[in-house]
Amino acid sequence: MPVYLDYNATSPMETEVLDGMLPYLRTGFGNPSSLHAFGRVAREAVHNARSQVAEAVGCQSSQVIFTSGGSEANNLFIKGAAGYLKPGTIAISSIEHPSIVKPAASLIRAGWLLRKISVDAEGLLDISDAESALSSPSSPSCMVSVMLANNETGVIQDVSKVAEITRSRGAWMHTDAVQAFGKIPLNFHSLGVHAMTISAHKICGPKGVGALIVDKRLALMPLVEGGGQESGLRSGTENVAAIVGFGVAAMRAKNRLLNYARHVECLKKKLESALQDMGAVLFSRGAPRLPNTSYFSFAGIDGGTLVIEMDRAGFAIASGSACASGATDPSETLLAMGVSPDLARGAVRVSLGAESDDSHVADFVTALKAALRRLSTMAAV
């Protein structure tokens, strides 16, 4: 069995999550909108899961809008807000996930001004650039989206600070917390944002379910219209079993957070000390980062080739962005940080999880040394 070290791409579903879901794929198959007993059972299950997710992220149940995942929740915020607001400035960081970048870019056709806020060499947002992005005299600020933690580098942004600036300009503030949820403490209210995206499959829940947490004073235009489920913001019969799994996974992620963070941080330190001895360039080492994520390059070694070599050796890691694996373009995030295209092309990411252990890290380091020797010999030939 290969060793899985790609938890930022997705995570294995836990037994307790599956056990929670199974009854709703069998006898509890009702439609939550039905008036009869079958409907009531399903409705209660969705209601309960909504409370669990709300408790895990520090918001009210009524603020949880279930979607098909993080990508849809990001689209719902950007396109949903644009459906109500007059065109103005939309500001996003230069290292956002494609599910923010693409809908934001699509607004240009409707007369919006898209402003990308720069990051420094460590991948941290330039707060003064954020301020200037929101001060365009010709275009009023309307929307800002800055991710809480980056999927590649793991860098954690000061989202509360950006939210403060955004609110002072009367604009709407969103954060993509897909990678932060379950890895660092997360509280919707203390972040001070208007909306926040989360996803179940990054916290050992099922794929195909996520949520937009939203301040109910915000008027959003739904992406999917129909029966009016999810407060009219996301029509369609609910994926009850997946939503139930999300609720269980959310509570488990919240309850184990401290132990999890201590565990993966300790493994990460061991890994990074070995990587440093091997001459790796470690990205964003000087910034606050997720406890489980290491992102690095070896000069002259292609990241995609190294991932394939490590796969052959029995280790699953990622090159560049996990969602764009297979792409040969250098990572946009690293380019935005000013990393040279050659070094960026070499980037590989190890993201640890609750199931990772000392032997995984030690065996990975041994296999990596062997892979680097092979690749250097091949390059020399």
Ligand X SMILES: Cc1ncc(COP(=O)(O)O)c(C=O)c1O
Which residues form the catalytic set? 323
Q: Is 141 in the site for ligand X (CB under 6 A)?
A: no
C-beta separation of 241 from 25 below 8 A: yes
Instruction: Sketch the per residue contact string, 180 through 219, with ligand X: x for CB under 6 A, - otherwise.
Output: -------------------x-x--------x---------
Q: Is 353 in the site for ligand X (CB under 6 A)?
A: no
Q: Is 147 in the site for ligand X (CB under 6 A)?
A: yes
Q: Is 336 in the site for ligand X (CB under 6 A)?
A: no
In the block, residue with structure tokens 């995206």: 197
Query: What does each C-alpha distance from 253 to 148, 205, 208, 231, 308 come to in angstroms?
Result: 17, 10, 18, 26, 31
Q: Which H or E run contains 212?
A: strand 210-214
C-beta of 359: minimal distance to ligand X in Å? 27
Q: Figure out which of the listed residues 75, 151, 297, 333 binds ligand X, where binding follows CB under 6 A.
A: 151
C-beta separation of 5 from 352 below 8 A: yes
Q: Is 333 in the site for ligand X (CB under 6 A)?
A: no
Q: Is 69 in the site for ligand X (CB under 6 A)?
A: yes
Q: Figure out which of the listed residues 79, 97, 263, 360 binds ligand X, where binding follows CB under 6 A.
A: 97
The alpha carbon of 298 is separated from its chain's Cα centroid by a whole number of angstroms, namely 26
Single-letter code of the amino acid located at 81: A
Give the number of residues written for the chain.
381
In the block, residue with structure tokens 């201590």: 262
Encoding tokens for residue 339?
């990393």
Q: Is 148 in the site for ligand X (CB under 6 A)?
A: no
Q: Is 99 in the site for ligand X (CB under 6 A)?
A: yes
Residue with Cβ nearer ligand X (41 or 56):
56
Residue with Cβ nearer ligand X (159 or 372):
159
Q: Which residues of 82-111 are buried (b: 16+ CB within 10 A; e: fewer)?
A: beebeebbbbbbbbbbebbbebbbebeeee
Residue with Cβ nearer ligand X (43 or 252):
252
Residue with Cβ nearer ligand X (166 or 199):
199
Encoding tokens for residue 33?
């909108």
| C-alpha to C-alpha distance for 336 and 269, rounded to whole angstroms | 26
Q: Is 63 in the site for ligand X (CB under 6 A)?
A: no
Q: Is 70 in the site for ligand X (CB under 6 A)?
A: yes
Q: Is 334 in the site for ligand X (CB under 6 A)?
A: no
Q: Figure out which of the listed residues 124, 322, 350, 372 binds ligand X, where binding follows CB under 6 A.
A: 322
Residue with Cβ nearer ligand X (336 or 371):
336
Stretch that binds ligand X, among 87-95, 135-143, 161-169, 176-184 (CB under 6 A): 176-184
C-beta separation of 14 from 206 below 8 A: no
C-beta of 99: minimal distance to ligand X in Å? 5
- Contacts of residue 66, defined as CB under 8 A and 6 or more positions apart, other chains included, come to 46, 50, 209, 210, 211, 230, 234, 238, 239, 243, 246
Among residues 333, 262, 265, the alpha carbon closest in space to that of 297 is found at 333
Q: Figure out which of the listed residues 18, 281, 323, 324 binds ligand X, where binding follows CB under 6 A.
A: 323
Residue with Cβ nearer ligand X (210 or 353):
210
Q: Which H or E run contains 319?
A: strand 318-319
Q: Which H or E run contains 117?
A: strand 113-117
- Binding residues for ligand X, rule: CB under 6 A, are 69-71, 74, 97, 99, 147, 151, 176, 178-179, 199, 201, 210, 322-323
